[in-house]
Amino acid sequence: MTDPNAIQPSALDQLPDRDPEETAEWQASLDAVAKAAGPHRAAYLMRRTLERAEGTGIALPKLLETDYVNTIPTPAEPSAPGDEALEARITAWNRWNAAAMVTRGSKYGVGGHIATFASAAWLYETGFNHFFKGKEADGSGDQLYIQGHASPGIYARAFLDGRLNEQQLDNFRQEAGGNGLPSYPHPRRLPWLWEFPTVSMGLGPLSAIYQARFNRYLTNRGIKDVSASHVWAFLGDGEMDEPESTAALALASREGLDNLTFVINCNLQRLDGPVRANFKIVQELEAQFRGAGWNVVKTLWGTAWDELFQLDTTGALVRRLREVPDAQVQTYQTRDAAYIRQDFFGKDPELAEMAKLLSDDKILECFHLSRGGHEARKVYAAYKAAVEFKGAPTVILAQTVKGHTLGEGFASKNANHQMKKLTVDEFKTMRDLLELPISDAQFVDGVVPYGHPGADSPEVRYLQERRAALGGPAPARRVHPVAPLPAPAEKAFASFDKGSGSQNVATTMAFVRLIKDLVRDKESGKRWVPIVPDEARTFGMESLFPSLGIYSPKGQTYEPVDRDQLMYYKEAQNGQILNEGITEAGSMADFIAASTAYSTHGETMIPFYIFYSMFGWQRTADQMWQLGDQLGRGFLVGATAGRTTLTGEGLQHADGHSPVIAATNPAALTYDPAFAYEVAAIVKDGLRRMYGEAAPGEDQNVFYYLTVYNEPLPQPAKPAVDGVDGVDEGIVKGLYRFNTAESAGLSPVANAPRIQLLGSGTAIHWTLKAQQLLTEEWGVAADVWSATSWTELRRDALEADAALLRGEERMPYVRQALQGAEGPVLAVSDYMRQVPDQIAQWVEQDYSSLGADGFGLSDTREAARRHFGVDAESIVVAALAQLAKRGEVKATAVKEAREKYGL
């Protein structure tokens, strides 16, 4: 049996040893130290040797963990500028008002979180006073991703600054009246203050990385120099369990994003209890970030611990700190000195002797209060180290106490995330601790008062002077006055109006051809940001590689294997395409950064993100909500769309529901175009609405979702104007008549039964075949309508209903378009029936639908359509059934058709 303690073979055994005798001497020296001074001394010497090697440039793998102590020793801490006493007063007022706001709101049952900001107050205050650049600073200022649960503290600071008043604080989480404050950072709800949504958890850190990367993209492309902007992301240690939180760490390191700092508030608690009860979350995060190539700064202990570390001449204290699990650290926070003496110090004879030198007050000061994240000097040192570090992003792991200064009922208690208020007595204790001039008489009828030192007080003047020096208020969102982009030349869009003739063209290819023309536009071409998750060749976009280039901060340091080909793989430092690899989440984060550049940087960018439709809304719909919240603009393009168009791929590739999910997002304008000219008309209108001259009452802060197909089919010419409504208007509104049986040249008999067939996307091609079969084989006249957007038809109808309730006369567009159309209506979609059924209640005619409900499957397109009952023959049978129900065809016709077509 192999001895498990024996020295195991390693990769070093594969390397030649030029001097085995010298190697043996080094090993013997290590053995001697371990025997004489103990293994801890040996480990210390090895770590110092490795540090020395790294400092002299000797290439060695880095240690992933350091001791559980501060990265920056106390003697090396720089002196923080400013007035520390005034900053402490400002922080005290903010702590008070944050807690008061949530407590006052609790009587309405709206909730709120107190403990998170209590732990992180100094992490924010130090940044606001000394680091975070405002919008009037060079470039675009800094970008701040505020931890969502800390929002009460940010509101409290805005109150102290005069940007919010008491009435607004009292309307925290009460927005319906129009003068409230949203629960978390929501730009759509409070667009002058919040810039970035950070709840749902995990989306903030992912977006921050791609925002920092997009800042470099703008600079390298010559759009705007934003090299002075720094991205700060404030995160919780529990939040780091979300896979999105750490999904892009390697990207940030690989591209050397030293314009990015993560500040992780390590209060060791998540919503239900300890983040790592039996382990140490700080050490775990350090290893994870170091392994990904980040610079790591640990800010764990306050100055009260300096005396203890000076007494630790053998390393026993550091060893004990490494081995105590986080849940036990939380327990120390709530126990008396006797317990700490026995459980922490008593486990090691050397520590027991150390404890004899410490008073109970000293022990309680260290274990109850003194954390690095609660001291301005410690935080300042960490932030200064972060912004001065070059070549890699920095993460600051700041240890704090959740519920700090809120009293014994809050600090480190497992339930404190759900605790929404303090009692009057607890507030009075907090007041005394913070030394605030709030009298007992101000607690009228048991209601805690807000506190403010006065608009001309030293605290407020200092706060405003510091912000002025740093470039204005923060956080803040600005929409810079930029001129609307001029519309591209009409030629780019009109080229699709004549159709493709005998050539089969998929709408995916039509979209790509349109983009190729638009990026050549002299005015707006450089504003396009093509984004694709490693599927450019699938979508026929490889022709853009040599002309636009794929963005890489390193350019192209190699000769591509296909360099001798016309469409070779070209990377460039000023490349325009963002080809992200297999990451829909990362691509979506790109899109969010680009789509909001009009606000973040005052630069209008036009992103389009093209992806497998199945892996867009299904996979990253949470980010689409974030996009809507952040008021992003651009084009999402779900390619290879539909349940039956992607031959052979099967269940998890067959999209039958993305328009359903998209319909739930109020900011998403969802279109399912059938023809190339429809794609062009929708993109043209989107450019007008989002980037040009929007019509009165139109919200510019929307984004478009287009489904496009990989099935090559003939592209017809755009029909002539239909009645009073132009075809383009119908395309944009969601419905227009493509043809009638007569205009299709089918010559139905006089007084033939008639039916209206509504098709969307690729389904319109089967609908057109069914139109022909109905006339030629069953004597039925069918008119075909292209339903470009079931969702927009529904939204228009809902608005019409609301208008009627207000006493206004308004007819839904879908009813107006179909008014006077003879016969029943049959709607057909390559998606589940729920998609076309969105409009059912507003159609006056008899209405039925066909769709591809259920799981997808692998087969040919024809077999899949027959399986789901949406092929042309199935449409014919459904149409005959509708007409038979009305007595307009023989009842036997339905059975005959089923048998004829083998259904």
Helix or strand holding residue 703 (H, E):
strand 703-707
**3-state SS class at 400:** coil
Quote the radius of gyration of the chain (alpha carbons, Å): 33
Q: What are phi and psi of 832, to 5 degrees?
A: -60, 155
**Sequence-distant (≥ 6) Cβ neighbours of residue 692 within 8 angstroms:** 484, 485, 486, 487
**Sequence-distant (≥ 6) Cβ neighbours of residue 18 within 8 angstroms:** none
Answer for the pair 647, 861: CB distance below 8 angstroms, yes or no: yes
User: What single-letter amino acid sits at 444?
Assistant: V
576 is in an annotated binding site: no
CA distance 148 to 183: 8
Taking residue 768's Cβ as centre, other Cβ atoms within 10 Å add up to: 20
Residue 235 is given by DSSP the state E
Cis geometry, peptide bond prior to residue 453 (ω within 30 degrees of 0): no
DSSP β-bridge partners for residue 850: 828
Distances in Å between the Cα of 35 and the Cα atoms of 6, 40, 240, 587 are: 17, 10, 41, 55
Instruction: Say which residue the tokens 């497998």 belong to.
Output: 612
- HSE (side-chain half, CA atoms, 13 Å) at 857: 13
Nearest CA-CA partner of 133 in 378, 387, 428, 362: 387
CA distance 519 to 550: 14
Q: Count the helices and strands in the chain (H runs, E runs).
A: 34, 20
269 is in an annotated binding site: yes
CA distance 814 to 823: 16
In SS3 terms, 269-282 reads as ECCCCECCCCCCHH
Q: What are phi and psi of 705, to 5 degrees?
A: -115, 115
**Sequence-distant (≥ 6) Cβ neighbours of residue 745 within 8 angstroms:** none
Instruction: Say which residue the tokens 């650290």 belong to.
Output: 329
CA distance 797 to 886: 27
237 is in an annotated binding site: yes
**3-state SS class at 140:** coil
Instruction: Say which residue the tokens 């650049």 belong to.
Output: 133
Q: Copy the structure tokens of residue 560.
A: 């591509």
Answer for the pair 145, 480: CB distance below 8 angstroms, yes or no: no
CA distance 737 to 739: 6
Answer for the pair 586, 560: CB distance below 8 angstroms, yes or no: no
Distances in Å between the Cα of 300 and the Cα atoms of 303, 304, 345, 367, 371 are: 10, 12, 19, 12, 6
Q: What are phi and psi of 398, to 5 degrees?
A: -105, 115
Sign of CA dihedral 590, 594, 595, 601: positive
Is residue 2 exposed (0-12), middle (13-18) or buried (19+ Cβ within 10 Å)? exposed
User: What single-letter amino acid sits at 290?
Assistant: R
Is residue 660 exposed (0-12), middle (13-18) or buried (19+ Cβ within 10 Å)? middle
Q: H helices within 650-711, ranges in order?
A: 658-663, 676-691
Residue 462 is given by DSSP the state H
Is residue 172 exposed (0-12), middle (13-18) or buried (19+ Cβ within 10 Å)? buried
CA distance 148 to 837: 38
Question: 203-220 vs 617-629: helix axis angle to the nearest 10?
Answer: 70
Question: Residue ranges for the binding site?
Answer: 237, 267, 269
Question: Residue ranges for the binding site for Mg(2+)?
Answer: 237, 267, 269
